[in-house]
């Protein structure tokens, strides 16, 4: 089974930062499953959500290295994926993240990503962090590494 086949047509899933980092860096062995996932979002077969926290994380390294073309590519993809919602963190999400963090001791950014997924009604959160996966509650965490 491939990563994108794990989900039903039209299903709403959240993506952790790593999915986009692997995709843009063509990082092996994770690039292929992330490419399939991005293509299924691009075609509208899958609906996806990311937090503005993930958008920030995706942009840090290219900005730090002065890779402005990559920054433009990232921003273009995020605009072009009409089946992808980029969800801003508001006070209500921040409060829920604080509660989740207090309960699970997740890192702040991970708690924000998790509550964004939960609040957006996502069935799954796709990423590649086993510690995050073991602590997240309220959404099924799917490991990219399991589909390599």
Model confidence band, residue 138 (pLDDT cutoffs 50, 70, 90): confident
**Is residue 38 in some structural domain?**
yes
Q: Cβ neighbours of residue 79 under 8 Å, at least 6 residues apart?
A: none
**According to the model, what pLDDT value does residue 3 have?**
79
Model confidence band, residue 93 (pLDDT cutoffs 50, 70, 90): very high
**Is residue 1 in some structural domain?**
no
**According to the model, what pLDDT value does residue 74 have?**
97
Residue 131 lies in domain: 8-147
Cα–Cα nearest to 118, from 131, 105, 99: 99
What is the tens place of the pLDDT at every residue in 44-55? 999 999 999 999
**Is residue 103 in some structural domain?**
yes
**According to the model, what pLDDT value does residue 43 have?**
94
The proportion of the chain whose per-residue pLDDT surpasses 70, expressed as a percent, equals 99
**Is residue 3 in some structural domain?**
no
What is the tens place of the pLDDT at every residue in 95-110? 999 999 999 999 999 9
**Is residue 18 in some structural domain?**
yes
**Is residue 127 in some structural domain?**
yes
**Is residue 116 in some structural domain?**
yes
CATH of the domain at 36: 3.40.50.1010
Q: Cβ neighbours of residue 95 under 8 Å, at least 6 residues apart?
A: none
Residue 88 has pLDDT above 90, yes or no: yes
**Is residue 25 in some structural domain?**
yes
**According to the model, what pLDDT value does residue 33 have?**
95
The domain total for the chain is 1
Is the entire prediction scored with pTM above 0.85? yes
What is the tens place of the pLDDT at every residue in 1-44? 787 678 988 899 999 999 999 999 999 999 999 999 999 999 99
Read out DSSP for the chain? --TGGGS-TT-EEEE-HHHHHHHHHT-TTTHHHHHHHHHHHHTTSSEEEEEHHHHHHHHHHHHHTT-HHHHHHHHHHHHH-TTEEEEPP-HHHHHHHHHHHHHH---HHHHHHHHHHHHTT-SEEEE--HHHHHH--SSEEEEGGGG-
């Amino acid at each position: 089974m491939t990563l994108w086949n794990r989900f039903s047509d039209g299903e709403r899933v959240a993506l952790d930062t790593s999915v986009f980092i692997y995709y843009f860096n063509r990082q092996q062995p994770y690039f292929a499953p992330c490419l399939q996932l991005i293509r299924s979002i691009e075609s509208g077969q899958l609906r996806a959500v990311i937090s503005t926290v993930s958008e920030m994380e995706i942009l840090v390294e290219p900005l730090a290295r002065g890779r402005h073309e990559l920054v433009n590519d990232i921003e273009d993809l995020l605009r072009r994926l009409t089946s992808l919602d980029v969800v801003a963190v508001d006070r209500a999400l921040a409060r829920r993240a604080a509660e989740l963090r207090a309960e699970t001791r997740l890192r702040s950014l991970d708690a924000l990503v998790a509550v964004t997924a939960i609040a957006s009604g996502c069935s799954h959160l796709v990423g590649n962090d086993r510690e995050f996966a073991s602590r997240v509650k309220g959404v099924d965490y799917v490991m990219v590494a399991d589909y390599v």
